[in-house]
A and B are shown apart, each in its own frame.
Chain A
Amino acid sequence: MPLPTYDTPLIFESGQPGRANRYLPEGPALETLLPADALRADLPLPDNSELDVVRHFTRLSQKTFGIDTAFYPLGSCTMKYNPRINDAMANTPALRDLHPFAPDHAAQGALAVMWELERALASLFGMAAFSLNPAAGAHAELTALLIAKAYFKQRGETQRNVVIVPDTAHGTNPASAAMVGFKVLSLKSDAQGRVDPDDLRRVVGPDTAVCMMTNPNTLGLFEPRIHEVSDVVHEAGGLMYYDGANANALMGNTRPGDMGFDLMHLNLHKTFSIPHGGGGAGAGPVGVAAHLVDFLPTPVVRANEADGTPSTATGWRESADLTFALDFDRPQTIGTMRSFWSNFAHMVRALAYTYANGGDGLTMVSKLAVLNANYIRASIRDVIDVPYDEINRHEFVASAQTLKRETGVRALDLAKALLDRGYHAPTVYFPLIVPECLMIEPTETESKETLDGFIAAFREIVATAKSDPERVLAAPVNTAVGRIDETRAARQPDLRWRARDSTG
């Protein structure tokens, strides 16, 4: 079922001056209130009726593909169903309209939400504590590397400035390392797509700061020697960082803390069912082992028992009999990472999701995510290259290399052909080490029927590529637009509308 193709003029090209919606009483003339030189001369924005605004954005939504539209097997992005109860809870007026500077005594429920979620995450992932401060995964990586930097500074080991990242790592890993002045050392994966502790041993040393790992890695493969990897890094005096982008594969089964990781982040917008919203807002809590807790960003939520003594809860605990405060007074903190405490509405969603599943449910979530991924792999491996054809975790990579050689059809073309058949495309050309890569992550919320439909479409496309490659190369033809001239977009950037009579 293709998306609608109708033309939607820009909001700036519609409406009439003075066609205002009466949301507010009329305001006084600004000139009577403020000096003329402080005011702007005009405000050249369009006036549209509410109905026209509704139609405009409804049409735009119809030209947008979401999980709610159809299957979205975008590898590394964990596009699972976003339960509506989560949004309803985030929309509770007392929480939605809460001002960040509200005094603690008037925000106890909100603080309880943050504290309970923090406890649940610490328990699930085996860390001593989490900070809910970072706004997204990349922001969390930056936070964690600043923690590492502060830790080494305190120990007088400022020569530690190398971050080791496997060549399968997400692009954010090296980019985050660069933002704290660390040098990046890229480590080649072995023939099995894993990090070999012996290779690692040859590159670690007194300059090793952090080794950033994703497990399962971006090939969807579990790193079976992860504890040896941790030992190598720890013996060299470095810290282990867990990129939680793939945490949906292991909940309730194994924990980063038990693998030897000192620092980690989670993408709550992946694993904990928060809607991606077209690219954010996300949420990227950072977890740390006990020796790094003092460096966490401020504020942290402090819990007190009914008698006023600090709570010493180490695992999950309910909050009803506790009182809470935001703690800004932490001498060793790296500081704060954002304007206000956390992407709180997302903490509400993540906690609602945690309640909905419980510990057993989250364990089953991961198992079924792995089941779905392996089911697709096993069902297409006879028609496409699967470079690591073994039990994968929540995602796997296929390669169109042979298909390209035989037919000229590339991974990108397969992706576009899937769009024509009403499916979202997998992630393509990542990880970089697999040529013509397609990274497929179905998530646990898809039924067998949906997967079977996708498998049939995929097989049909590959068959078409072999019999009539031109048809696949021409895709997509059922979408609002065809393939876009990206070179023109980059060479002659047009990033905003301008009024026709303005030369600006």
Chain B
Amino acid sequence: MYTPHTSSDIEAMLRTIGVDTLDDLVRVPDAVALRAPVEVTPQHSEIEIAERFRRFAERTSAGTYTSFLGAGAYRHYVPPVVGAIAMRGEFLTSYTPYQAEVSQGYLQAIYEWQTYIALLTGLDVANASVYDGATALAEGVIMAVNATGRKAVLVSQAVHPNYRAVLRTYAEGLDLAVDELPYGADGRTDLSSLEAALADQRYAAVVVQSPNVFGAIDALPAGVGARIKTTKTVVIGVVAEAMSLAALAAPASWGVDICVGEAQSFGVAMAYGGPHVGFIAATTEHLRRIPGRLVGKSVDGEGRVAYVLTLQAREQHIRREKATSNICTNQAHCALCATIYLAAMGSSGLRDCAALNVARTSELRAKVTAVSGCAARFSGPTFNEFVLRVPGRAADVLRALEEKKILGGLDLGRFYPELDDCILMTATELTTSADVDRLAAALSEITVRAAAHV
């Protein structure tokens, strides 16, 4: 209980109001009155709450495994300074900064976040955040639909399957057709059917992801983005691993008009899937179609620099059903964590981190593809994950690895039936050579055993 009322407080307040009892304040018609007290847990002291969660933690053993999981959620080093500052009560317990005069600090931090995302993606503007990478994609597609008036979108199959699933859910509401571009032998989007697809100008957007869900660097080749734009089709680039932005060519440089993605890697905990932090960046042309909140810089009556939520005429609380989106709450605090992370890491720290991710993944790839029967499924260069083909079903190999306290990666068969012998493996700056050696040795043992059973 977090209520400060003493019984004499309650009595005095009831007297001021002019009623006799608390129940007089909450009376409801008999038809909707509760028949019996609701049944939930009894009240706990803090010590008892902590004990409860100690037991939940005990039943959650994943942290005791060596993990090579990624696929949209990444284990990165988070300097303690991020949590120490982000958890300051003023940040944590403030509401959306509608009262700008008493929210200058948070507004400035969000303006800095918008700047970081703009600089990293190479685009003109970014919003104050959206829920996560998948919903960022859905919102980005809505922007393209509104820009073009077209009701179909062409999405690479190498875009994260969960992102595509969310897009399909939203598409059902929006009455939008979602068509797909296949992936090729190098693990990149196969663009050979693109020309034909563009011919009748029915697509609002072409969507590709880089690095894509197979880890492959899948930036559009030179000239393709420009070609797509000649058909007045929007190029949407997805970035599910924001750390890659520190190393790879900025999305704007390969023709992206709207970049959507996930910035969990910037100092936000994986936390079993959320909260994470989606972002949307775009060229100025699309500025007024961006959903959600935007912080702008202005001045006050005395000419002092002042930050304020702006372009609110796009938003639901003003425009209601004519709004660009229904988004209200976003992920401000996660965006704040990311901003502090980026500030602490700096340009050189981020570069190092991205390079270590590539290096550790290249070591991982070399060692596990050397295991008999295992091979890289795709040929192209990757960032911090890649696809390993294993002898037999990936699900079986992963289960065998789990017995050796290793989470070997994601079974791609869950999403791509034709890849049911493939594991998506991830290494980050936190992956050690010893981890990789353990995995390679375990894989080798499992595949030898499997071969012996054939």
Contact = CB atoms under 8 A, between A and B. Distances in A.
Nearest to A125: B38
Interface stretch (B128-136, B179-187, B191-199, B368-376): B128-136
Interface in A213-252: 222, 224-227, 249-252
B72 interface: yes
A281 to B, nearest CB: 3
Nearest to B26: A253
Interface stretch (A188-196, A202-210, A371-379, A461-469): A371-379
Contacts of B31: 227
B210 to A, nearest CB: 9
Contacts of B331: 135, 280-281
Interface string A464-483: 00000000000010011111
Given A56-B343, A98-B63, A339-B276, 11 more contacts: A17-B347, A30-B358, A34-B217, A47-B348, A94-B63, A174-B320, A184-B320, A352-B49, A371-B22, A419-B99, A485-B298
Contacts of A352: 49, 53
A490 to B, nearest CB: 5
B77 A24 contact: yes
A482 B101 contact: yes
30 contacts: A25-B352, A35-B381, A40-B245, A45-B346, A54-B84, A56-B343, A63-B103, A69-B89, A90-B271, A99-B62, A102-B69, A107-B272, A112-B56, A116-B41, A222-B28, A254-B33, A276-B329, A281-B332, A334-B172, A340-B276, A357-B1, A367-B25, A371-B17, A375-B13, A379-B16, A444-B5, A482-B101, A484-B100, A486-B308, A486-B310
B4 interface: yes
Contacts of B276: 339-340
Nearest to B33: A254
Given A64-B90, A101-B71, A490 B99 contact: no
Contact of B272 (A110, A252, A446): A110
A481 B304 contact: yes
A489 B298 contact: yes
B40 A53 contact: no
A162 to B, nearest CB: 12
Interface size class of A (residues with CB under 8 A): 35 or more
B250 interface: yes
A50 B343 CA distance: 8
Contact of B346 (A46, A135, A337): A46
Tell which of B17, B62, B271, B320 has the most Cβ of chain A within 10 Å.
Answer: B271
A277 B435 CA distance: 36
A365 to B, nearest CB: 7
B79 interface: yes
A178 interface: yes
A438 interface: no
B274 A342 contact: yes
Contacts of B38: 123-124, 251-252, 255, 359, 362-363
A66 B93 contact: yes
Interface in B94-112: 94-97, 99-106, 108-112
Contact of B381 (A38, A137, A341): A38
B34 interface: yes
Given A20-B349, A21-B344, A109 B40 contact: no
B354 A30 contact: yes
Given A20-B348, A77-B95, A281-B334, A25 B343 contact: no
A91 to B, nearest CB: 8
Nearest to A320: B55
Given A40-B247, A99-B62, A279-B329, A495 B294 contact: yes
Interface in A56-75: 56-69, 72, 74
